[in-house]
Amino acid sequence: MEEANLNIEKEDKEEVKEAVEEKPKKSQENQAKKVILPILAIALIILIITIYKSRPYDYKYNTFEVKAIDQGKITTYSVKIVANEQPIYLSTRYDPRYLEDAELYIEPNLKNKILKNQIFITQDPDEKLKAKATIATLEINNILEFVYNANVNSAVTKEYKNLTIKDCIDVNKGTSIIKLTLNNETKVTSENDCIIIGGKTEEDLIKLADKLMFNILGVMN
């Protein structure tokens, strides 16, 4: 009986010993997990960011590469075109896929009416167009200058702060006029070869300006 008790005590001591030895192991494993898991999480995030940044484009639109550029409060788009066998990356506020679905009418065959020796982008100062209209003007200006090396200037339709005065009446063989205006429709049309970009809001003017440029470049039909 005493021998049996001794055996039980011996077994109990061994179990206690194993339990005592196992605790530090589990503690070490938990500490290792606490260190390794955050490292793996950070590594995964870095990998995702690296893949995103190294990705050449988000999607192709009619063979043109389009990539979204996150600039914090806004997202702009970089559209790759080829001019004179050189790649050019155009920055626009809207991308072709969005503009395709938006209800924006662009009169066809405006390219030749726009690309002349001198191009003036004008607006009526009485409409008091603000920053977004300026963005629309810059979108047109940058693309026409970078891609076509065009001579683009800003103007107003009537006397205002000594600015250049140009209106649709000034269209001729060597001069094109692009007029930004607010009205009840959202479309780009021509009147006696004067290009009218008319929108209900200034945001519409940006959308129309981008879509017009995409049409001229052949990105959109």
pLDDT digits (tens, 9 = 90+) for 23-41: 555 555 556 555 566 666 6
pLDDT over threshold 60, residue 48: no
Say whether both 51 and 109 belong to one domain: no
Say whether both 112 and 51 belong to one domain: no
94: tokens are: 């809207």
Whether residue 75 is contained in a domain is answered as no
Whether residue 213 is contained in a domain is answered as yes
Say whether both 47 and 113 belong to one domain: no
Say whether both 35 and 124 belong to one domain: no
CA distance 166 to 150: 17
pLDDT over threshold 50, residue 120: yes
75 versus 32: the higher-pLDDT residue is: 75
List all residues 6 or more positions away from 29 whose beta carbon is below 8 Å from its beta carbon: none
End of a domain among 17, 32, 55?
Answer: 55
List all residues 6 or more positions away from 155 whose beta carbon is below 8 Å from its beta carbon: 120, 121, 122, 163, 164, 165, 166
Whether residue 48 is contained in a domain is answered as yes
pLDDT in tens, 138-166: 999 999 998 999 999 999 999 999 999 99
pLDDT over threshold 50, residue 8: no
Whether residue 173 is contained in a domain is answered as yes
119: CATH: 3.30.379
Predicted local distance difference test score (pLDDT) of residue 52: 46
Predicted local distance difference test score (pLDDT) of residue 101: 84
Say whether both 43 and 136 belong to one domain: no
Say whether both 207 and 133 belong to one domain: yes
Say whether both 129 and 194 belong to one domain: yes
* Strand bridging mode 175-182 / 86-92: unpaired
Whether residue 29 is contained in a domain is answered as yes
pLDDT in tens, 162-188: 999 999 999 999 999 999 999 999 999
- Please state, rounded to an integer, the average pLDDT across all residues of the chain: 83
List all residues 6 or more positions away from 112 whose beta carbon is below 8 Å from its beta carbon: none
**Mean pLDDT of the 177-203 span:** 95
Report the number of distinct structural domains present in the chain: 2
Q: Give the pLDDT band (50/70/90) at residue 113.
A: very high
Predicted local distance difference test score (pLDDT) of residue 138: 92
Predicted local distance difference test score (pLDDT) of residue 71: 84
Q: Which residues form the domain of 126?
A: 105-217
Whether residue 83 is contained in a domain is answered as no
54 versus 58: the higher-pLDDT residue is: 58
CA distance 89 to 86: 10
**Mean pLDDT of the 7-26 span:** 50
Say whether both 120 and 37 belong to one domain: no
Whether residue 112 is contained in a domain is answered as yes
Residue pair 212/140 in contact by the 8 Å Cβ criterion? yes
Predicted local distance difference test score (pLDDT) of residue 24: 54
Predicted local distance difference test score (pLDDT) of residue 4: 46
Say whether both 49 and 134 belong to one domain: no
Looking at residue 146, its amino acid is: F
Predicted local distance difference test score (pLDDT) of residue 85: 84
Say whether both 109 and 212 belong to one domain: yes
**Mean pLDDT of the 195-206 span:** 95
Say whether both 46 and 134 belong to one domain: no
For 173, phi and psi rounded to 5 degrees? Answer: -60, -30
Residue pair 69/75 in contact by the 8 Å Cβ criterion? yes
Whether residue 176 is contained in a domain is answered as yes
